[in-house]
């Protein structure tokens, strides 16, 4: 039986993990406000080679205020007008565990089912994006699953955004 959005949101808030499928492939996801889940997600990351970049998925630029301050003016356009996956590394994280305070990797999710889940959760989803349709060997898959994997994952561009709007591409 496929779990409902409400059941997934409840499980995430309890610290459970989710096997998430979106436009970039498969990811392991958790609620970023659940400290123990975030700690465990970061432990999992250490065991993977190469370690994936933990990324906070958001619905739209309106969620930037929840996680970044100050927000460079260009950030709104980068998030709102992204038609392909773009991960932006922001400085000045707030409302997140200490490890994300200096730099917050954020990506606006394009997959409608994942956007709906984030809307129901009311906050972003912290993910370990594997950028593949294959789950890492040796890593137990969470019981909960959400989203539909694409035929071919799209690797996100990764850019760093400075406090005055300076842009540096880390992966084009």
pLDDT 10s digits, 62-99 = 999 999 999 999 999 888 888 999 999 999 999 998 88
Cα distance between residue 33 and residue 35, in whole Å: 6
pTM of the model: 0.95
- Say which DSSP state 100 is in: G
CATH code, domain carrying 89: 3.90.870.10
- Say which DSSP state 99 is in: G
pLDDT > 70: percent of the chain:
99
Cα distance between residue 160 and residue 91, in whole Å: 9
- DSSP secondary structure, 16-79, as one string: --EEEEETTEEEEEE-TT-HHHHHHHHHHHHTSSSPP--EEEESSGGGHHHHBSS--HHHHHHH
From residue 145, how far is each of 6, 12, 65 by CA, in Å? Answer: 13, 11, 28
Cα distance between residue 88 and residue 57, in whole Å: 11
pLDDT for position 2: 80
Task: Find the Cα–Cα–Cα–Cα dihedral 134, 139, 142, 143, rounded to 10°.
Answer: 90
pLDDT > 90: percent of the chain:
83
What residue numbers bound the domain in which 97 lies? 5-171
Structural domain total, the chain: 1
Q: How confident is the model at residue 1 (pLDDT cuts 50, 70, 90)?
A: low
């Amino acid at each position: 039986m496929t779990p409902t959005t409400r059941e997934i949101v409840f499980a995430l808030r309890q610290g459970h993990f989710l096997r998430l499928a979106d436009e970039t492939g498969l990811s392991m996801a958790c609620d970023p406000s659940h400290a123990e889940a975030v700690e465990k997600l970061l432990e999992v990351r250490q065991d993977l080679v190469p370690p994936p970049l933990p990324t906070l998925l958001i619905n739209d630029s309106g969620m930037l205020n929840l996680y970044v301050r100050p927000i460079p003016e260009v950030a709104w356009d980068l998030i709102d007008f992204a038609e392909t996956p773009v991960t932006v590394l922001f400085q000045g994280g707030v409302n997140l565990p200490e490890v994300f305070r200096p730099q917050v990797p954020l990506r606006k999710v394009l997959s409608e089912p994942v956007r709906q889940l984030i809307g129901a959760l009311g906050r972003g989803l912290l993910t370990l994006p594997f950028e593949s349709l294959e789950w890492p060997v040796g890593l137990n898959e969470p019981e909960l699953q959400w989203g539909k994997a694409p035929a071919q994952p799209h690797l996100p561009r990764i850019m760093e955004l400075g406090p005055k709007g300076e842009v540096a591409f880390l992966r084009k």
